Structures are given as structure tokens and as C-alpha cells.
Structure 1
Amino acid sequence: MTRLSIIIASKDRAGYLDQALRSISEQVGAPSIEVVVVDNGSSDATPQVVERARDAYDFEISYLYEERPNRAAARNRGISVAQGEIALFVDDDVWLPPGFLDAHDRAHGRRPVAVSGPIINVPTYHERPKPTLANFSRAFFCTCNVSVPLSALRDVHGFDQQFHLYGWEDTELGVRLRERGVRSKFCWDAYLYHIKPPAEQTLDVTLVRTLEKAQMAARFIRKNQSRRARLATGAHTWNFLRARALAPRWMLPFYAGFAADERVPPVLRAVARHQLLDGMYVHELQRGLHQ
């Protein structure tokens, strides 16, 4: 039986996907694996990348096309066809060190656990630092780097597809897994590199993601009003008061102007960017909660 089903949801990121598949091919000591690529409505060369990888590598690669842009739906398609004992989720813009799959495999024992590892953000594929304490995360379930028994995912019916925008769909699934007795385990050897080129982290792109994440946070809170969920999403009184003081609505255009002005010193631009994104998130979250 296949041990690991590696599920990758991807949209219009053929170049990144090509590198991720290559890093899987260079694993050392890996158990039996399959890769499930779910193309979430790409218009680029993603199908051709998968076809070339099938010819080049000695592991099975399944290709599914999910037309509707929805990460939760795409990953559920992957879960539906996976045949491994363990489902391992990684993003398409990652590079897996040679011992990554072996580390995830060894971290699973008799009791069901969600295994996560350090996610190291780097600007290029050439930078590969070792993980440090700064890379530790208490996140229970982050689909950039997490593995869990496939049976546990199916027991809770996978991802909630109502989370159709960016953010929180993995956290919400983690809550349901925890309620069914799955425990978390952080494995330092299961680290990966998350490729984040500065040129792609533009203010416009980040703003869109911030607003989407706030909208999905409001959906999460409407579904789960626990203290843990409110603290995780920032949906609590102290955070609202803090944002009202530091990033009131009338100041957001000023922050936006400073963040975009290259004449402003980089440190001040970074502060303005942070305040802008923080304020936009909180105000959009509050708007979503009152809908």
C-alpha cells in the first residue's frame, strides 16, 4: 500500500510546480509515495509540466482539473482520489530538502497526529538556511507543510468549501480534526523552503489577500465562536480597540501613500505597510462579522 499521498493544489504556477516536483524526485529514504496535482483552473503550462514529470520521475503522478477557483474544493478533490495511508499537503511554491518525506513518515506512529514542520521563507531557490527557533509554529494545521492520516481527513469530510477565498480553511479543518482526537506534532526534521520572491510580494497583491483573509476569518468565527478561534483570527475586543487607536480608517490612506512612496526611508515604508495591512484586515473583519 502507498504510504504517502502528496497533495498539491496549484493555479497558474507552472514554474513553481516544476521545481516542487523536482525536489520530490530527489528525496532520500522516502517511503512509497504518490503525488496528486490538482490544477485549480490554470491557463498556463501546468498540464505540460505534470506530463513531463510523469515521464521523468519514477513515482506516480495523478492530474486532476478543478475549474472553480477554490483551494478547499481543490484539496478535497485530491483527498477523494488519494490512496496513501498518510495525506501530505504542500504548496506548489516550495522546495523539499532530501530528507523531508522520510521525516514526515517517521513522525507518524500508532495514534493519529497532524505532523507539521518548519516553513522557511526564502527569496530564491538558492538560499537554503537551516531551521531556527524563529521557524517554530504552534499552528495545528497549515497546508503549506502538514501530514495527517487520510482516514482522519475523510472522517471529518475534508475541507469546508464555503471557505472559497484566501485563508483559514486549513485552520478550520484543524479544529475539527482536533475535536476528533487528532493531536499535533511538530517535527524539526520535516522542514521545507517556501519561495517568496520580493518582486511578487507587491502591496496590491498583499492587500487583496489581506481582505480575503479577513472575510474568511469572519466566516470562521460565524462557524466557530470559541475563544481559541477568536484569538487566532484577532476577532476580539482588545484587537479591535488596538486597531482603532493605531490604524483608524481615516489614517489608512496616509499609510498607503507612505507605503508606496519610494522616497520614504525603507524602515518607515515597512512600518506604514504593516499598519495599513493590519488596519485593513481588522476593519474588513469587523465588517464581515456584522453582515
Structure 2
Amino acid sequence: MRLSVVIATKDRASYIERALASFALQQGAPSFEAIVVDNGSTDTTRSVVQAAAERSNFPIRYLFEAEPNRGKARNRGVAVAGGFIILFCDDDVVVPPGFLAAHEAAHDAPGLVVNGAIVNVPDYEHRPKPSLANYSGAFLCTCNVSIPKAAIDAVGGFDESFDLYGWEDTELGVRLRESGMRRRFSWDAFLWHIKKPSEETLDVLARKAVEKARMARRFIDKSPSSRVKAATGAHRLNLLRAKYLLPDSLLAFYAGVASDERANATVRAIAKTQFLDGIYARELSRALEK
């Protein structure tokens, strides 16, 4: 087995069904399997994955991990994977026919972490090719990344103490980089990431921002380097801004503009970014004071 695709999911049966269907359409792909780790779903995820496995032209394995923990779920998948290379992706993606072949081609030298372009789209109908806006300098993003299994095992996999949203993949990237792994970005290994506006509500994103700030504290405690502090926003100017320049009234204003459908789309987008950045910065400041 050359490649093992590991997908963690929770209560997203319709998404995982579409993701698996797109893997069935691969062309020129190496031998591969998909391992779906159900992270405590209460919907029809189990039956959907099992039905997909019965009709699939590639092996699909279903695992159940009751504890909601992204790192733990992915570690479960890696532990049973038979592939030389582990490819992580999210459940809300669709991959083009040459996706797996592109990832394999990018591993033309040892010691590589291959990140593919991520094209965010609002629905399943939009399928644009990647553009410069889709470039990422991240060392590791689990929405679309492939890594030799031996390298993951060598550094101990994901840190399962990151039990909320955020930073567990970046933290793994730090350890992989320190072990001598090198990053490569592949435009050919792109995928479409479905981000439905109806589900990406301000409340949902604000909760994620709070969780991410709390996990940033954990990340900093584990890796208190200037690089990590800069990446998480835990530098003096940002913390002073959070403490003195982000009152409730300002965040409420940003939230109001971001939610106003009469406002200009660009203005709404800016307000949304400022609101979420403010929520994150204030929670990070509080977390670091504890």
C-alpha cells in the first residue's frame, strides 16, 4: 500500500459521502486506502461510510473514536494505516481526479511534508482551479497534507492534549521541522474545501476563535519560541491591543456590520475579520494571564 488517506469526521455524513465518492474517481493513482475515523458522531456517518465501503473500488476502513479530539482521531487512523505515506484531509472536501497522483509525485525525495493548495468554495458546484490566493506558507495543514508514516511515528504523532479546535497540526509541524523534515507546496495536489455560508455563521466562527486562543496558550507552553509566539499572535503589541483597544462596544459594532446584509460585501468581510480577530486576541490575552 502506497498511500493511506486519513479523514477524521463528526456528524457530517453528507460531507464524508461526497468526499469518499471523489476519491473513487482518481486517475493514475498509486495503491491507496481511506481510513475514516468517526469522532463521536450521532448521525448516520457509520452507515454512510459502511455503504460506501461496500461499493467502493478502493479499501475503506471505518473506526469509531468516542472522545471528541481531532488529534486522537487522526492518531487512531495513522496507527492502523498500511500506507507508506499518510495523507490527511478534512471531511468537507472534494478532490480532483489527479489528486493522489499529484501527492505521490511530489514525494520525489525523502523527508518531505507535502501541502497541497486548498480552494475554499461555497458549494459543490463551484470548481475553480487554484490561484495565487490559495498559496499557503504553512508547514502543515491537515486539510490537505501528506507525510511519510515513519516521520509521523518518529515524532510521536499528534499531541492529544490539544482537545479543542486549533493548533494541533501546527504543533505537529514544529516537531516534524525540528526532526529535519522539509516542507513542499504542490499546486497540482489541490482540492476544493466546501465552506457553506449557512454553516459558517458568526457564532460558530467566534466559538472556534475562542477555542483556538485557548489552544494557543497550550502551544506556547509547549513551544515558547519567538516563532510560535508570532504565529499565535502572542506578542506584546497584539496583547496590549487586546487589553486596551478592543472594548465590547467595538466588537459589537464589527459584529453588527458583518451581519448586515445591506452593507457592502467587502465592508462586511473586513468587519467579520476584525470581529473574529478581536475575539481571538482578547481570549488569548485572558488565557495567557491564567
1:165 maps to 164
> Does structure 1 conserve the Cα–Cα contact (< 8 Å) formed by 2:242 and 2:285?
no
Cα distance in 2 for residues equivalent to 1:272 and 1:185: 33
Task: Quote the offset at 1:225 in angstroms.
Answer: 1.1
Q: Distance in 2 between matches of 1:269 and 1:126?
A: 24
Percent identity among equivalent residues? 57
- Aligned pairs (5 A) from 1:146-165: 146-165=145-164
Q: Which amino acid aligns with 2:83?
A: G
Kindly provide the amino acid, as one letter, of the partner of residue 171 in structure 2: E
Corresponding position of 1:93: 92
- Name stretches of at least 5 consecutive residues in structure 1 with no aligned partner: none
Q: Does 1:26 align with 2:25?
A: yes
Q: Are positions 1:247 and 2:218 aligned together?
A: no
Bigger mean CA offset, 192-201 vs 231-240: 231-240
Deviation for aligned residue 1:125 = 1.1
**Counterpart residue number, 1:71:** 70
Q: CA deviation at 1:277?
A: 1.1
TM-score (norm 2): 0.96
Distance 1:279 1:52, change over 3 A: same
Q: How does 1:199-238 map to 2 (within 5 A)?
A: 199-238=198-237
TM normalised by structure 1 equals 0.95
1:37 to partner: Cα distance: 0.4
Q: Does the 8 A contact of 1:247 with 1:276 survive in 2?
A: no
Q: Is the 8 A contact 2:255 2:271 kept in 1?
A: yes
- 1:119 matched residue in structure 2: 118
Rounded to whole Å, the distance in 2 between the matches of 1:29 and 1:253 is: 51
| 1:13–1:256 distance in 2 versus 1, CA, 3 Å | same
More displaced 10-residue stretch of structure 1: 5-14 or 124-133: 124-133
Whole-angstrom CA distance in 2 between matches of 1:246 and 1:134: 30
Q: Give secondary structure in 2 for the equivalent of 1:191.
A: strand
Distance between the aligned counterparts of 1:267 and 1:79, measured in 2? 41
Q: Measure how far apart 1:203 and its partner are.
A: 0.8
Deviations 1:138-180 (A, max 9, x none): 0001000000000110111100001001110000000000111
- CA distances 1:191-235 after superposition (whole Å, capped 9, x unpaired): 000001111111111111110111111111111111111111111
Aligned to 2:50: 51
What do residues 76-95 of structure 1 show as CA deviations (whole Å, max 9, x unaligned)? 10011111000000000000
Query: Contact (CA 8 Å) 2:246, 2:282: kept in 1 or not?
Result: no
**SS state at 1:55 partner:** helix
Match of 1:133 in 2: 132
What's the CA shift string for 1:14-65, capped at 9, x where partnerless?
Answer: 0000000000000000000011000000011111111111111121111100
Question: Separation in 2 of the partners of 1:263 and 1:126?
Answer: 26
Deviation at 1:261, TM superposition (A): 4.3
Distance in 1 between the 2:89 and 2:141 partners? 9
Runs (4+) of structure 1 exceeding 6 A deviation are none
| Alpha-carbon distance between aligned partners in 2 of 1:10 and 1:149, rounded to the nearest angstrom | 22
List alignment gaps of at least 5 residues for structure 2.
none
Residues in 2 aligned to 1:7 and 1:112: alpha-carbon distance in whole angstroms: 20
Instruction: Note the aligned Cα RMSD (angstroms).
Output: 1.5
